[in-house]
Amino acid sequence: MIGKLSELQKEKNEQCTQRHELAVERLRTIVTEETVNAAYISYFQDCTLFLLELENTRKKLEDGSWDSLSLEEKRSLNRILYSDIIGEKYQTSYANQDYACEKLGGQEMGQLLSLLYTEIRAGISYVFEQRKDYLTILYELFLEVYTCFEGMSEEENPVPKPEQIKEILYWYASDYCDVFYADRILEQMDPSADFAVQIIEKADLDEDDYLYEFGEYISKNELGTAHHLRNLPQETLQKMADVYTEGYRVGFINTGKDLSKKSIVNIRYSLGFEKVICLAIENFRKMGLKPVIYRAASSVITKREHHKIGYYGAIANQQYEYDHRQDQALFMDKRYVERKLEVMKTVFEQNKEMAAGVAGPAVMEIFGETPFSPEAKETAPAYDEAQRELDLLFSSRSGQITNEYIKGEERSFTIVAYPVPEIGGADYAKIFDEVIKINTLDAKLYEKVQQTMIDALDQGTCVHVRGKGENQTDITVQLYHLKDAQKETIFENCVADVNIPVGEVFTSPVLEGTNGILHVSKVYLDGLQYQNLKLTFQDGKITDYTCTNFEDEAQNKKYIYDNVLKNHETLPLGEFAIGTNTTAYVAAKKFNIEDKMPILIAEKTGPHFAVGDTCYSWSEEIRVYNPNGKEIVAKDNSCSLLRKEDVSKAYFNCHTDITVPYKELEEISVVTNEGKDIILLEDGRFVLPGTEVLNEPLDEAGF
């Protein structure tokens, strides 16, 4: 075992030793017991065997015998811990609500026990981080539920009422908020929580063994990525790290924020990229920033639906993650939400100096996995209307609390993305090289060309975007009115600082007067695929929406409502942009990976529209300038301006970019004050004088 436990964690582990031993002793007796209703024996034995497997792994890590295991033994153990939710096995796993509801007495009890089974699986990370205190809590939760089922004969009362199990789960989540959730908040800003950093900096990254130290599921993607990076020249790895960290540094400069006041950077990435992350850590340390690298949450108490925020390995089963995204619906009420907010506020207040030092996230995303379109399940828990309101309340207030201690006007970020082997098989190395090229394009060239486009856009009152062929896009985007065109500008000239790669100009549109339809044949948003996504806007807000993922139109609307609108009745158009990175577009077409490109790159390959907050949320008062010295003044809209009256009404805590690819475009034109049309793109090509150089990659590829 590479990582060393902190003194505080050692103390926590020692304090719970007796409780832990008693719990483990009781678990060992359950394996052969048949003291519950016959229909539930298999469930409880499966849970118990899994928990004992966790305990055996924990002991190996504690006594050092883990280090003597062969690579194949570590790989085998990794597969065992995740095998029950992979592929076809998920169909007969109690983690699958369909199966649990069928076998465990109907939907209400099935959902609750499936949640318990899923919560038990969160114990994998606790094992590898040697959090005996967390494991003890988990074991005791399971035993408390098991005790409810014991001694009930089929002739009498065969099983407890679902309300009894629900109450146990509720108080587990509520009582341990100040443990799990408090630690979750703290580990996002505390450099001493360095489990992952120790592995990255101390492990032999030229061997595969280190990947299994994290306790995440390891697939061919993680192994293949690590192998590929080992075969790259050191200067290429350094170049990748430098692009990543320099973009972060320059982001502070370009937005007029003082990086010297900060001491902590949050690094988020996917396993397999440790060779680059290790170099990035060194770069950040030279900037005076200590790394904070925390795991993506897995407990119902700490995770936010199916989103992976932090570091993580392979997603063993995307349907499993999607099925359990709203498990909180089984017990969430106002008291619980207020409890979580209280814990959050307390942790930040107790650590406000540390929080003030957080500079913001540096994110290295991955892409290339098989596009996922989920199955809609009636057995999967879902928020009712009251809970949706509570979820929105939590998002709003937690955003406000975070901004109070990690101020938006003082923090920044950067995002870059690289492919994983699943994207192209034999072409993976070529695709990877192409992405490195895309991420390191000549920013000066794009700055000049994009400024030409901005000069035309600044003459406009609105922009008209029309789709071609089957694409139904026909939308007019209202633009901010400049007061002094000599000193002000509407669009930001994005030249690859916080948002890598280079290649877009963007603005916060005026909502009033922004009307029409946005349509895209296929798009991949937040890990989910949408087919024929269509949004209708009136005065800048979504009034209707649909897609063709499901045969049932109600399911299509719910899919969008849950995952694009994020449970809001409507969202404003927070951003309008024109992507200029034709090199990225050609690469996607060349390797037939358009549907696998991450939004970070895809948004640079056509006009894109972001629903939710503007790009300037929480930092609207910061004065921002383009490289030509003009101030960017279009940062607000009528929603964000509400912060001056009631901040809870100003922000939606989401920002989802939707891109129309060049091939689906008929025209993008600017309508001037005089009623003249300035055509920027026509039939998917740049026609504005001074921007024709962007067509060169298209010409070379024969498009």
Q: Which helix (H) or strand (E) holds 59?
A: helix 38-63
In angstroms, the Cα distances linking 552 to 325, 546, 558 are: 21, 11, 10
| Interval 615-636 mean pLDDT | 92
User: For 11-49, what is each residue's pLDDT tens digit?
Assistant: 999 999 999 999 999 999 999 888 899 899 999 999 999
Is the pLDDT assigned to residue 157 strictly greater than 70? no
User: For 103-124, what is each residue's pLDDT tens digit?
Assistant: 998 999 999 999 999 999 999 9
Is the pLDDT assigned to residue 305 strictly greater than 90? no
pLDDT band at 370 (very low <50, low <70, confident <90, very high): confident
- Terminal CA-CA length for the chain: 53
User: For 577-617, what is each residue's pLDDT tens digit?
Assistant: 999 999 999 999 999 998 888 888 988 988 999 999 999 99
- Looking at residue 156, its pLDDT comes to 60
- Looking at residue 549, its pLDDT comes to 95
pLDDT band at 1 (very low <50, low <70, confident <90, very high): low
| Interval 141-168 mean pLDDT | 85
- Looking at residue 499, its pLDDT comes to 81
Enumerate the domain spans of the chain. Answer: 7-175, 197-204+214-415, 443-700
| Interval 208-231 mean pLDDT | 97
The residues pairing with 367 across neighbouring beta strands, listed in sequence order, are 419
Q: Is the dihedral of CA 599, 604, 605, 606 positive or negative?
A: positive
Q: Choose between 547 and 595: higher pLDDT.
A: 547
The secondary structure of 536-552, three-state, reads EEECCEEEEEECCCCCC
| Ranges of H-type helices in 64-161 | 71-82, 97-103, 107-121, 123-128, 132-149
Is the pLDDT assigned to residue 153 strictly greater than 60? no
User: For 371-394, what is each residue's pLDDT tens digit?
Assistant: 888 998 999 999 999 999 999 999
| Interval 364-368 mean pLDDT | 94
- Looking at residue 429, its pLDDT comes to 94
| Interval 126-149 mean pLDDT | 97
What amino acid is encoded at 685 in this protein?
R
Task: Locate 612 and state its tokens.
Answer: 């939710």
DSSP 573: E
The rounded mean pLDDT for the chain is 94
Q: Is 188 helix (H, G, I), strand (E, B) or coil?
A: coil
Could you tell me if 640 and 651 are in contact, meaning their C-beta atoms sit under 8 angstroms apart? yes
Task: Locate 132 and state its tokens.
Answer: 């005996």
CA 16 to chain centre: 34
| Interval 74-94 mean pLDDT | 96
- Looking at residue 496, its pLDDT comes to 66
User: For 475-514, what is each residue's pLDDT tens digit?
Assistant: 999 999 999 999 999 999 988 677 888 899 999 999 999 9
pLDDT band at 425 (very low <50, low <70, confident <90, very high): confident
- Looking at residue 155, its pLDDT comes to 54
- Looking at residue 577, its pLDDT comes to 96
- Centre a 10 Å sphere on the Cβ of residue 27 and count the other Cβ atoms it contains: 20
- Which single residue is written with the structure tokens 């895809």? 602
Q: Single out the residue of 428, 588, 626, 610 nearest to residue 501, CA to CA.
A: 588
- Looking at residue 372, its pLDDT comes to 87
CB burial of residue 53 (10 Å; 0-12, 13-18, 19+): middle
Strand arrangement of the beta sheet that strand 541-546 belongs to: 541-546, 528-538, 510-525, 474-478, 460-467, 665-672, 677-682, 685-686
In terms of DSSP bridges, do strands 541-546 and 474-478 run parallel, antiparallel, or are they unpaired? unpaired
| Interval 335-360 mean pLDDT | 97
User: For 235-285, what is each residue's pLDDT tens digit?
Assistant: 999 999 999 999 999 999 888 899 999 999 999 999 999 999 999 999 999
Percent of the chain beyond pLDDT 90? 84
- Centre a 10 Å sphere on the Cβ of residue 683 and count the other Cβ atoms it contains: 11
Percent of the chain beyond pLDDT 70? 98
